């Protein structure tokens, strides 16, 4: 009995720890440090959130001012979709850029490649926004769920009272339905929580991909 109580208490502690630590690592700078740089609690990843990937971080070509003309060019529209897909391997994406560049007339060569980068950047930011907001929503739900589970834990009988029923000595006691439900809720919560670091890698992979394509496009440009 005590063992089960201990497990539940321990699990409860893990919930409390998760609740306490996740926001702490993100926001709990001492009050006196860097107050001008508050971090949103909705962002659970260990690295700082960069809401938009701007051209200047990965591109040293012509300034990108026009972000919509590319939508009128079907080839660029399709190619940019292909390039940003992480299912397409990097060498294949680079080969596609090379092929596209080779088929461009000299007078519009660099302008079209710039347009292609603009398309890739726009699509990249659309993907990032979707993924980042998904991560934030997931984290928010986890925080809410953790509060609910914590409350349920408080309502359970004290650890020493778990299973203090009429079970004879030596027999394995059953958890009450309430305790069983609580145990499973903790387990589900923890398994979901373990997915957050994995999800946090996705925006970084998207950025990495955009950088690789930007370099591939620039390598084909003459200016």
Partner 1 sequence: MSRFAQPLPVFVAAAAMTSFGATAANAYTAYITNEKDNSLSVIDTDKLEVTKTVKIGQRPRGIVMSKDGKWVIVCTSDDNDVKVYDAKTLEFVKSLPSGPDPELLTLHPDGKRLYIANEDDNLVTVVDIETSKVLTEIPVGVEPEGMGMSPDGKVLVNTSETTNMAHFIDTENHKTFDNVLVDSRPRVAMFNSAQTQLWVSSEVGGTVAVINPADRKLITKINFEIPGVEKEAIQPVGIRITKDGKFAFIALGPANRVAVVDTATFKVLKYILVGQRVWQMYFTPDDKLLLTTNGASNDVTVIDVANQKAIKSIKVGRYPWGVVVSPD
- Interface residues with partner 1 (CB under 8 A) are 24-25, 28-30, 32-34, 37, 39, 48-52, 54-58, 60-61, 63, 204, 207-208, 211-212, 215, 218-219, 221-222
Q: Which is nearer to partner 1, 53 or 146 (CB)?
A: 53
Q: Which is nearer to partner 1, 100 or 162 (CB)?
A: 100
Q: Which is nearer to partner 1, 159 or 211 (CB)?
A: 211
Is-contact 121 64, C-beta < 8 A? yes
| C-beta neighbour count of 84 within 10 angstroms | 21
CB of 170 to partner 1, least distance (A): 40
DSSP 37: S
**Whole-angstrom Cα distance, residue 71 to residue 201?**
29
**Whole-angstrom Cα distance, residue 196 to residue 198?**
5
Q: Which is nearer to partner 1, 43 or 182 (CB)?
A: 43
Q: Which is nearer to partner 1, 75 or 223 (CB)?
A: 223
* Residue-by-residue DSSP string for 112-171: HHHHHHHHHHHHHHHHHHHHHHHHHHHHHHHHHHHHHHHHHHHHSPPGGGTT-SSPPTTS
CB of 52 to partner 1, least distance (A): 6
CB of 160 to partner 1, least distance (A): 32
């Amino acid at each position: 009995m005590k063992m089960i109580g201990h497990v539940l208490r321990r699990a409860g502690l893990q919930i409390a720890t998760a609740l306490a630590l996740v926001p702490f690592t993100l926001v709990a700078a001492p009050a006196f440090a860097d107050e001008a740089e508050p971090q949103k609690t909705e962002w659970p990843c260990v690295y700082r959130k960069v809401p938009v990937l701007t051209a200047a971080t990965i591109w040293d070509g012509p300034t990108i001012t026009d972000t919509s003309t590319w939508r009128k060019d079907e080839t660029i529209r399709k190619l940019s979709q292909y390039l940003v897909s992480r299912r397409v391997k990097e060498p294949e994406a680079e080969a596609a850029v090379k092929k596209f560049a080779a088929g461009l007339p000299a007078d519009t060569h660099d302008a079209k490649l710039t347009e292609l980068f603009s398309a890739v950047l726009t699509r990249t930011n659309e993907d990032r926004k979707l993924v980042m907001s998904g991560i934030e929503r997931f984290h928010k739900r986890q925080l809410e769920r953790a509060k609910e589970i914590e409350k349920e834990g408080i309502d359970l009988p004290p650890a020493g009272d778990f299973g203090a029923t009429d079970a004879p000595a030596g027999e394995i006691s059953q958890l009450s339905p309430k305790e069983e439900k609580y145990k499973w809720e903790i387990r589900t919560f923890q398994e979901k929580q373990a997915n957050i670091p994995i999800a946090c890698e996705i925006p970084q992979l998207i950025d990495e991909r955009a950088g690789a394509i930007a370099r591939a496009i620039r390598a084909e440009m003459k200016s």
